[in-house]
Amino acid sequence: MKRINLFTIILILLLNAFITMALINKYGNKTPETDTFVSQGTSQPSKASSAKRINSITEAVKAVEPAVVSINVIKTEYVRAVSPFGLGFFDFFGSIPLLRQIESIGSGVIYDPKGYIVTNAHVVSGATQIKVILPDKREFSGTVAGIDEIHDVAKVKITGNNLPVAEMGNSNDLIIGEWSIALGNPYGFLMNDSKPSVSVGVISAVNRNFAARQDRHEYKSMIQTDAAINPGNSGGPLVNINGEVVGINTFIFSENGGNIGIGFAIPINSVKTILAKI
C-alpha cells in the first residue's frame, strides 16, 4: 500500500514537471496573463497602418515644404495729418506729411540654390526691410533682386548655405480636376510659426484672364484652384501631386476677405519667363 502511494506521488510530480516545462517553452518566463496585460498596455500603431497614411499628397508636401519661406516686410508710407481745429501750421497747407511704418507678411519659394526666392511683387514692393524665415527657423535679410509690378512677380535674394530648393514644374500640361496643393504662411503673425500651412484642392480652371486693375496689375492665363488661399499665402507655391511648383498663389475672390474656394495662381511657365528678364 505504501509502495502504491509512493509511486502515485512520483507520477504526479513528473506530470507537474512536464506541464511546467511545456508552459516555459511556450511563454518563456512570463505567464499567459502577464503577456496579455503587457500587450494591451503598450499597444502601438502598426507599421502597416502608418504606411497607409503616406500618400502622394504627403510625399509632395514633404518634397517642397523645406523651400517654402515666410517673407516679413516693413514698408514706410506717407500719410497726411489734417488739423482737427483748422488752426496753426495746417492752415497754410491743409495737412502735413507723416511717415508711418507698416508690417506685412507674405510667402515665397526658393527656386535657386544661390538664394533666389520667387514671390509676388505686391508682397515686397516698397519694402524698406525684408526678413526671410525658413521652415527650419533660419532667418536671413533679403533684398529685392528684380521686380515686375505689372505681372506681379518679384525675386528676392538671400545669402546662405545648404538652402533647400523646390522643383519647378510645367504649367502647360495641367489637367482640370487634378490635385493641387497650396503652401504658404497665412496669418503668420498670429501663429508665430515658420512652418508653412498646407491646403489641398483641385485645378478648377486654367487660362483665366482679368481686366486691368487700378493697381496696374495684369493677370493673364491664371490658374484657378479651390485649394484654400488666404492673406499671407501670396507668393507661395501651388504644387502638383509630384511635388513640382506649377504656380505662384496670388489672389482670391471673396466678399468678406475670407476664402470661398476661388483662388488664382500665376502659371509657373509665365513666372520662369519673367524671372529671366528681371
- Please, what sign has the CA dihedral across residues 272, 277, 208, 61? positive
Task: Give me the amino acid identity at 83.
Answer: S
Three cell numbers written together for 112: 535657386
- DSSP state, residue 118: E
Name the phi and psi angles at 159, rounded to 5: -120, 120
CA dihedral 54, 56, 59, 61 (to 10 degrees): -120
Q: Can you tell me the distance from the alpha carbon of 207 to that of 224, in angstroms, rounded to the nearest whole number?
A: 8
Query: Which of 70, 152, 204, 226 is the catalytic position?
Result: 152
Identify the CA nearest to 182 among candidates 125, 221, 240, 130.
Answer: 240
217 is catalytic: no
Q: What is the CA radius of gyration of the chain?
A: 32
Q: Which residue in the list 70, 107, 122, 171 is annotated as catalytic?
A: 122
Q: Is 152 a catalytic residue?
A: yes
Q: How far apart are CA 211 and CA 195, in angstroms?
A: 35
Task: Find out whether 102 and 187 touch, Cβ atoms under 8 Å.
Answer: no
Cα–Cα distances in Å, from 151 out to 24, 58, 77, 178? 77, 31, 23, 26
Examine the residue annotation and report whether 234 is marked as an active-site residue of this protein: yes
Q: What residues are labeled active site?
A: 122, 152, 234
